[in-house]
């Protein structure tokens, strides 16, 4: 069985401030980790993912996440946020042969001017 | 890239009627499709996994007879909400596994907002 814990349900920040959205997982098998972003009434868009190799992964819009196996974490960071980053962010984990993707409860990031 | 087209985006139906939601993979073959349900301001809950040509596997607590899933071809999976009631109102999202050239990930439909009145 696998699970994901997103410790913060809401994170309000001011524009141009740094932000970290926390994610911890548990799994009995090797994992693949994902961060998705969801805008209201839309599907999910992939931000970044960790499959193997370098533990630091980056997205094209300035987000990055680091896979930490010892702490079973995959926190998402951005050094300077924009108003347009306001959205719901979901951390997810998959592993095993059934490809099931398990989501955390999500973190609402609100960027204020 | 791999795209899943989901229709309709919004549907309003009367209580007791059935509603069909379609997900089509446009440029790849989706052997496995997942169906999720999302309540307002909550996470995605996996309802079932469908594999082309076989019966869907439902998660615990999901009514198989209410949420009929058909995956008859490699490019089409459907979810039919039968005898819908107001408590079935929700946001439904489909997803497919993609494995292009050794990579691995998921592509999601844009979701269907179902409102039962």
- Comparing A33 with B54, which gets the higher pLDDT? A33
Q: Show the beta-strand stretches assigned E in chain B.
A: 4-7, 10-13, 19-25, 32-38, 44-51, 57-58, 67-73, 76-81, 90-98, 105-108, 112-116
Averaged over B34-54, what is the pLDDT?
90
The answer to whether residue A99 neighbours chain B at the CB level (below 8 Å) is: yes
Beta bridge partners of A34: A49, A92
Select from A43, A45, A46 the Cβ nearest to the Cβ of B93: A43
CA dist A50 and A31 (Å) reads 9
Kindly determine whether residue B49 and residue A101, on different chains, have CB atoms separated by under 8 Å. no
> With 90 as the cut, is the pLDDT of residue A98 above it?
no
In three-state secondary structure terms, B102 is helix
B76 pLDDT more than 90: yes
The predicted pLDDT at position A100 comes to: 87
Q: How far is B83 from chain A (nearest CA, A)?
A: 24
Provide the pLDDT for residue B102: 67
Q: How many helices (H) and strands (E) does chain A have?
A: 0, 12
Assess whether pLDDT exceeds 70 at residue A65: yes
Mean pLDDT score across all residues of chain B: 92
- Find the mean pLDDT for residues B55-62: 93
Tell me what the mean pLDDT of segment B10-36 comes to: 94
Question: In terms of DSSP bridges, do strands A10-14 and A107-112 run parallel, antiparallel, or are they unpaired?
Answer: parallel
Token readout for A17 is 């401030």
| B105 or B99: which leads in pLDDT | B105
Q: Does A59 touch chain B (CB under 8 A)?
A: no
In this predicted structure, the answer to whether residue B104 has a pLDDT above a threshold of 70 is: yes
Task: For residue A105, give the nearest of B62, B39, B108 by alpha carbon.
Answer: B39
What average pLDDT score do residues B10-24 get?
97
Cβ–Cβ < 8 Å for B23, B76? yes
Q: What percent of chain A has pLDDT over 90?
A: 73
Scan for tokens 């107001």, then name that residue. Answer: B86
Return left, alpha or beta for A57; rule: phi > 0 is left, psi -120 to 50 is alpha, else beta.
beta
B34 — pLDDT class (breaks 50, 70, 90):
very high
Nearest to B109 by CA among B88, B84, B91, B90: B91
B43 touches A at CB < 8 Å: yes
Which of A42, A90, A105 faces B111 most closely, judged by CB atoms?
A: A42
**Segment A28-54 mean pLDDT:** 89
| pLDDT at residue B29, rounded to an integer | 87
């Amino acid at each position: 069985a696998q699970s994901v814990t997103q410790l913060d349900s809401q994170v309000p920040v001011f524009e141009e401030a740094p932000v970290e959205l926390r994610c911890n997982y548990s799994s009995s098998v090797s994992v693949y980790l994902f961060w998705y972003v969801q805008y209201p009434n839309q599907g999910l868009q992939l931000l970044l993912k960790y499959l193997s190799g370098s533990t630091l992964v980056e997205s094209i819009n300035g987000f990055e996440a680091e896979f930490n196996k010892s702490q079973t974490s995959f926190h998402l960071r951005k050094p300077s946020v924009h108003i347009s980053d306001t959205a719901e962010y979901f951390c997810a984990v998959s592993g095993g042969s059934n490809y099931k993707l398990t989501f955390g409860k999500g973190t609402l990031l609100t960027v204020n001017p | 890239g791999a795209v899943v087209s989901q229709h309709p985006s919004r549907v309003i139906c009367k209580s007791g009627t059935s509603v069909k939601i379609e997900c089509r993979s446009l440029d790849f073959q989706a052997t496995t499709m997942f169906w999720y349900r999302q309540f307002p301001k909550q996470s995605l809950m996996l309802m079932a996994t469908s594999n082309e040509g076989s019966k869907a596997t439902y998660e615990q607590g999901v009514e198989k007879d209410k949420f009929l899933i058909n995956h008859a071809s490699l490019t089409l999976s459907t979810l039919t909400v039968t005898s819908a009631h107001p408590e079935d109102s929700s946001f439904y999202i489909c997803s497919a596994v993609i494995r292009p050239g050794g990579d691995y990930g998921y592509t999601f439909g844009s979701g269907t907002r179902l409102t039962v009145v």
